[in-house]
């Protein structure tokens, strides 16, 4: 962590054609973060990060993969990992039909998360339900809960802030009016940057493009808050160290 200048709180390194090179190349540019996975098989196929501490590997069960996934394996992985993600609920039109399986999977993963774990959370059309589950399982009290690309209603944001949650923002979320407004409202000490890259499995490694996406997120947050980009870069890095250490 000491040599890092930028932090990506939510990236799918396993979707790069060469995940190990993606981690090494990004770290050489001063970029580190949290490598999220979508299920236990995806986790098993992702190489362990190098010992330099730039990257952390998270055990996840993405809501899109929840129906039919090996829940037992995902839970076992979460029980033995400091980092858990991507997990959550997606109750938008495309995925609402699997709401029951998603809820069962998210609840189980929250129950499995150990004290001090860092959770990276997907929430679409489900802000209050996600928070209900975090509270009911005790995860919101014993873990650091990070909402990835938060796009819920303003009352959901307020509730998440009161619960002490963190928020990772990327250039895609900052391209929206709501995203920019939330970047202004989120407490400074709970702001993180993310990319959610790459967009699909098998993507060729381009560490410079990866870093540029994080830098655009930093610039977007700075513009929304009316401060200097270097101030935001340093803030996010300090926040990331508090989150992980």
3-state secondary structure the chain: CCCCCEEEEEECHHHECCHHHHHHHHHHCCEEEEECCCCHHHHHCCCCCCCCCCEEECECCCHHHCCCCCHHHHHHHHHCCCEEEEEEEECCCCCHHHHHHHHHHHHHHHHHCCCCCEEEEEEECCHHHHHHHHHHHCHHHHCEEEEECCCCCHHHHHHHHHCCCEEEECHHHHCCHHHHHHHHHCCHHHEEECCCCCCCCCECCCHHHHHHHHHHHHHHHHHHHCCCHHHHHHHHHHHHHHHHC
Range in 43-57, 93-107, 132-146 with the lowest mean pLDDT:
43-57
The pLDDT assigned to 40 comes to 96
Q: What is the mean pLDDT of residues 148-161?
A: 96
Asked if the model's pLDDT at residue 2 lies above 70, the reply is no
Q: pTM score, two decimals?
A: 0.96
Beta bridge partners of 55: 33
Q: What is the mean pLDDT of residues 113-119?
A: 98
Asked if the model's pLDDT at residue 1 lies above 90, the reply is no
Condensed to tens digits (0 to 9), the pLDDT of residues 25-76 reads 999 999 999 999 999 999 998 988 876 789 999 999 999 999 999 999 999 9
Q: What is the mean pLDDT of residues 79-105?
A: 97
CA–CA separation, 178 and 56 (whole Å): 29
CA–CA separation, 36 and 59 (whole Å): 7
Q: Which two tokens stand for residue 119?
A: 């959770």
The pLDDT assigned to 19 comes to 95
């Amino acid at each position: 962590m000491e040599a890092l200048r930028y932090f990506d709180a939510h990236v799918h390194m396993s979707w790069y054609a060469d995940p190990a090179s993606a981690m090494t190349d990004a770290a050489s540019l001063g970029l580190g973060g949290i490598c999220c996975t979508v299920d236990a098989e995806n986790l098993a196929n992702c190489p362990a990060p190098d010992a330099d501490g730039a990257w952390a590997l998270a055990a996840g069960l993405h809501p899109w993969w929840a129906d039919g996934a090996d829940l037992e394996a995902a839970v076992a992985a979460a029980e033995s990992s400091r980092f858990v993600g991507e997990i959550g609920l997606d109750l938008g039109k495309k995925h609402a039909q699997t709401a029951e399986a998603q809820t069962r999977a998210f609840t189980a993963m929250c129950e499995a998360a150990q004290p001090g774990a860092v959770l990276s959370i997907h929430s679409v059309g489900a802000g209050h339900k996600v928070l209900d589950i975090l509270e009911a399982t005790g995860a919101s009290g014993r873990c650091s809960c990070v909402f990835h690309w938060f796009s819920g209603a303003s009352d959901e944001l307020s509730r998440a802030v009161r619960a002490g949650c963190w928020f990772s923002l990327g250039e895609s979320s900052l391209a929206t009016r709501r995203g920019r407004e939330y970047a202004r409202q989120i407490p400074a000490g709970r702001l993180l940057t993310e990319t959610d890259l790459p967009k699909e499995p098998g993507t060729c490694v381009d560490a410079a493009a990866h870093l540029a996406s994080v830098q655009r997120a930093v610039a977007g947050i700075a513009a929304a808050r009316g401060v200097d980009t270097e101030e935001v870069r340093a803030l996010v890095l300090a926040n990331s160290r508090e989150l992980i250490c």
